[in-house]
Amino acid sequence: GTAQIGVTGLAVMGRNLARNFARHGYTVAVHNRTAARMRSLVADHGDEGTFVPTETMADFVAALERPRKVVVMVQAGAATDAVIDELVPLLEAGDIVVDAGNAHFPDTRRREAALREKGLHFVGTGVSGGEEGALNGPSIMPGGTRESYESLGPILEAISAKVDGVPCCTWVGPDGAGHFVKMVHNGIEYADMQLIAEAYDLLKAGLGASAAEIGEVFAAWNSGDLESFLIEITADVLQHVDAATGKAFVDVVADAAEQKGTGRWTVQNALDLGVPITGIAEATFARALSGSAPQRAAARGVLPADVQAWNVPDPGAFIEDVRKALFASKVVAYSQGFDQIAAASAEFGWAIDRGAMARIWRGGCIIRAKFLDRITQAYERDAQLPLLLADPYFTAAVADGVAAWRRVVAAAAVHGVPTPAFSSSLAYYDGVRAERLPANLVQAQRDFFGAHTYRRTDRDGSFHTDWSGDRAEHEA
């Protein structure tokens, strides 16, 4: 075969990825279970580059030059397994199967191990940026063997987003590392979105501002530390007027947030690894609360608020406080997400370069932001940085806003505005910096009722106190 790359699965995402490859001068073999999709791609966009149309999987595989590079872009889950099962008998040692769908990383680990047994490379790849990104340059997070990246990497880098000429694609690490990092990316996206939503709610409650006025605040914020795609689109969305009613668009959108599940995966994994990603967890639960219709109906108008009217005396100062609280909370959410990447990297032996992850998220994905450069620089200063918040740049940036952060969280509590992500991020900040946490008491309680033992501050070893007897302490 002569095709340098193949794409099977030509729904929205696969179709756009195939066009992206073709537009970059690659000869692309294209295939889809239902051949009509493949034919329509070639009919509509055949002039954008060189496509090799194929109707059967055997023809598709035969169209590829060796080692074959097959991008699978079908529905995550059973469909991906079905396509892999069909492909594998047709492939030869050294060929590379790239799963560019939204697989859960344990599935990727399973598939990688199975294909490795057969001498094939399996590359679970995070692809961010939706339809638009797939066509014009996504952020790409490939896992799998380093060897596979030698031939595959240049092709993926060519079609990825570029920031300052640098591709938003790099080898992430072995087996499931790529899909894992994509998962955490999505979790951080949840936190970022929730923090922005809380800032909007605070400005609405504190200032009685209209959506359009709040949109102007976000537009102004987009020229500072917060500059990012999400802040930019928030300004745009808030200023949009609903055609049917003439009202602010956001005021006619139902307040029940949905999710496809990557936030949930991120939180489930954080619980497994014991990493406190409170920002992402609160954001995920905030969506769940918004969708808890029976509970909200039972509570609305029944549970007393017992708050006084909120008259912010100095709107300009309040807006600046909210901005600083948003930035500090955002730093916490990212710091926690990068901790989770570090923990998984240690657990699975992936050796993920966290600075490189921040670099490939600068373009082509939903959390793209100027701020990510600062994260890359922090890990360049210290690749083993134990806590992003403790990097000198972030310590100083947050220090500048701590007083504002406390004022905002306190005011939110006093005036009954729910800020789960702002508040839990501040609690995390105070927790992680604490000289001493009340976990001493928890350990004492655990020893009392369950003989779980405790360690002491003054000497090494494990101890148990005979609580039900003479209360003497024994080395355990």
Binding residues for NADP(+) are 9-14, 32-34, 74-76, 102
Token pair recorded at residue 257: 């947030």
DSSP 120: -
Sign of CA dihedral 428, 430, 436, 438: negative
Helix (H) or strand (E) holding 50: strand 50-53
How far is the C-alpha of 374 from the C-alpha of 304, rounded, in Å? Answer: 44
C-alpha 373/C-alpha 360 separation (Å) is 10
- Give min distance, CB of 139 to ligand NBP, in A: 9
Task: Give the shortest CB-109-to-ligand NBP separation in angstroms.
Answer: 17
CA distance 201 to 293: 20
Is residue 189 part of the annotated active site? The answer reads yes
The Cα-based distances of 31 to 22, 56, 435 in angstroms read 14, 7, 60
**What minimum distance in Å lies between the beta carbon of 31 and ligand NBP?**
9
Nearer of residues 102 and 419 to ligand NBP, judged by Cβ: 102
Footprint on this chain of ligand NBP (rule: CB under 6 A): 9-14, 32-34, 37, 73-76, 79, 82-83, 101-102, 127-130
Cβ closest to ligand NBP, residue 34 vs residue 384: 34
Q: How far apart are the first and last CA of the chain?
A: 68
Say how many residues make up the chain.
Answer: 476
Of 84 and 409, the one with the shorter C-beta distance to ligand NBP is 84
Catalytic residue (choose from 189, 282, 324, 330): 189
- Backbone CA torsion sign across 276, 277, 283, 288: negative
Q: Which is nearer to ligand NBP, 11 or 289 (CB)?
A: 11
376 SS3 class: helix
Is residue 321 a contact partner of residue 404, using CB atoms and an 8 Å limit? yes
Q: Report the chain's C-alpha Rg in angstroms.
A: 25
Judged by beta carbon, residue 130 or residue 431, the one nearer ligand NBP is 130
Find the residue with minimal CB distance to ligand NBP: 101
- Beta carbons of 341 and 183 less than 8 angstroms apart: no
User: What is d(CA 465, CA 449) in angstroms, rounded to the nearest whole number?
Assistant: 11
Name every residue whose Cβ is closer than 8 Å to that of residue 173 and which is 6 or more positions away in sequence. 143, 345, 350, 351, 352
Separation CA 36–CA 42 (nearest Å): 10
Annotated active-site residue 182? The verdict is yes
Q: Report the amino acid identity of residue 89.
A: P
Instruction: Please tell me which residue in 69, 112, 182, 324 is annotated as part of the active site.
Output: 182
Q: Answer for the pair 183, 260: CB distance below 8 angstroms, yes or no.
A: no
Rounded distance between C-alpha atoms, residue 60 and residue 70, angstroms? 9
Tokens of 146: 């380093």
Q: Which is nearer to ligand NBP, 12 or 437 (CB)?
A: 12
Q: CA-to-CA distance for 204 and 319, rounded, in angstroms? A: 11
Residue 42 or 79 with smaller CB distance to ligand NBP: 79
Element (H, E) at 323: helix 315-348
What are the catalytic residues?
Answer: 182, 189
